[in-house]
Structure 1
Amino acid sequence: ATTSPVNVRSKARKPLMTPKKKPPKITDKIYFDIEIVNHLDGKSSESGRIELGLFGELCPQTAENFRALSTGETSSEKEVSEVEKLQYKGSIFHRIVPNFIIQGGDLTYGDGSDGMSMYGYDLPKERNGLVFDQPFLLAMANSVTEPQSSHGSQFFITTVKTRWLDDSHVIFGKILRGHDFLLSLSDLGTQSGKPWRSAKIVNCGEILP
């Protein structure tokens, strides 16, 4: 099970004057082909592609988990048959809040109540010091059972700066292409988080050099 980021803004602290850090290295690139589907007739009304870059050097286990779930690969460590079926292809973005986040990756029930890593268990957080100081960052949603220390397969993409989420979620990538399409996805959201149209990942995989 997984907890979702909370859309609550706290008082901003004055930023410390520190030298600019070098941007994290992109080690892997992933694509999602997404279709927006009408609830009434089930027909696709719009489609688009987003490309995501992963920070594999800063958080190797988290990035590899996301990459493998995107390609549908299996692992020799897997012993649970259900785990072999886990992949982001065919999953939906179950929670969309305008001017906040787009969240998906519940490969168990599709409603945000669960999720599982490629290994069949929650992964420990790889804390890396990155902060939500810009939009279009890729981060993991926290596990319900151990929200302070672990996550599974659920992820979210921010559409604005969300500094109140600093230190509570692991940032492991960013959006490289498809920003405008993501903003159109954000328009499907509501304050409750339940989108008024379904956004489904119909295909996904790794972009090889």
Structure 2
Amino acid sequence: MGGEKSEEVWMEIQVGDFEEYERALEEFERGKKFLLEYGESIGLEKSADRLLDAQIEMFEELYSTYAINMAPARCVKPKELVRFRLEICLMKDKCPKAVENFISLCKGDKSRKGTGNQSVKLHYKGTMFHRVEEALIQGGDITRGDGSGGESIFGGKFNDEKSALKVKHDEAGIVGMANSGKNSNTSQFYITFKALPQLDGKHVVIGKVQQHSMDHLIRMLLNLNSEKVKARISDCGTL
């Protein structure tokens, strides 16, 4: 893909068991509140951050004694979910409209009218990758999050750009627009984990993961190792 006029964007992709992580965070907040109210009176610190190892071991027993009817709690903050930063080089010369759409969705600088007087930001940030396979990862459904939706900044779908249809899926890291058929591009996109020649000519290829980010792409694939482990775009923007 050398020689083309390009633009660059970045995505921070968070990987993990989100349900378990959110549950653990709720338990930690509950534990902090318990310590703040009762910690000193039962021989512990008021702050979870100041607990000694021995006090951490005591916490569970004391909590079960003094908080009989309360939901589970913990005094150790759960480990942060792993994040991978991908930098993507976009081929503006081959598909200016698709690249304009992708960049804007990374920046979140466009909105559409929602219900009432509310506006809805068109943004990849916070969206899930609804399709995770050994061959590719697909996301960008900014309307429904499950692969059944999507919206472009142009209002609906936009046409394929012929030059970008000619780009081969001949390696890992290819970034293309997912579609439901000819001329049906919205916001959904995919990133390949290997060569996928069966996609050639069927999808607008908009760019490629930069070489220095390929290690992150491979590590991300290795972390997507169970049905409970999901991936989402925690942040994104332009370089």
TM-score by shorter chain over 0.5: yes
Residue from 71, 83, 100 that aligns with 2:107? 71
Structure number, greater radius of gyration: 2
Superposed CA deviations along residues 46-81 of structure 1, whole A, max 9, x for unmatched, are: 11211001001110000000000000112xxx7634
* Contact 1:188–1:196 (CA under 8 A) maintained in structure 2: no
Distance in 1 between the 2:108 and 2:11 partners? 13
> What TM-score, normalized to structure 1?
0.77
Identify unmatched segments of 5+ residues in structure 1.
1-21
1:181 pairs, out of 213, 216, 220, with: 216
Structure 2 residue runs without a partner (length 5+):
23-77
**1:34: which partner in 2?**
13
Identity of aligned residues (%): 32
| CA–CA separation in structure 2 for the residues paired with 1:154 and 1:24 | 26
* 1:12 corresponding residue in structure 2: none
Deviation at 1:84, TM superposition (A): 4.3
Cα distance, 1:188 vs structure 2 = 4.7
The alignment covers a number of residue pairs equal to: 176
* Cα deviation digits, residues 83-142 of structure 1 (max 9, x gap): 7411001111111101x1011100011111110001221010112111112221100001
Q: Residues of 1 paired with 2:127 and 2:112: CA distance?
A: 23
**Alignment-mate amino acid for residue 117 of structure 1:** S
Given the two structures, how large is their TM-score scaled by the length of structure 2?
Answer: 0.68
| Residues 89, 208 of structure 2: 8 Å contact kept | yes
CA distance in 2 between partners of 1:104 and 1:186 (Å): 15
What pairs up with 1:151-170 in 2 under 5 angstroms?
151-170=185-204
Q: How does 1:41-120 map to 2 (within 5 A)?
A: 41-42=21-22, 44-74=80-110, 80-81=113-114, 84-98=120-134, 100-120=135-155
SS in structure 2 of the partner of residue 172 of structure 1: strand
Residue 61 to residue 126, structure 1, CA distance change in 2 (3 Å): same
From the two aligned structures, give the one with the greater strand fraction. Answer: 1
1:54/1:195 CA distance change after superposition, 3 Å: farther
Select the structure that is richer in helix: 2
Contact 2:11 2:86 in 1 (8 A): yes
Q: Runs (4+) of structure 1 moved beyond 4 Å?
A: none
Match status 1:126 vs 2:161? yes
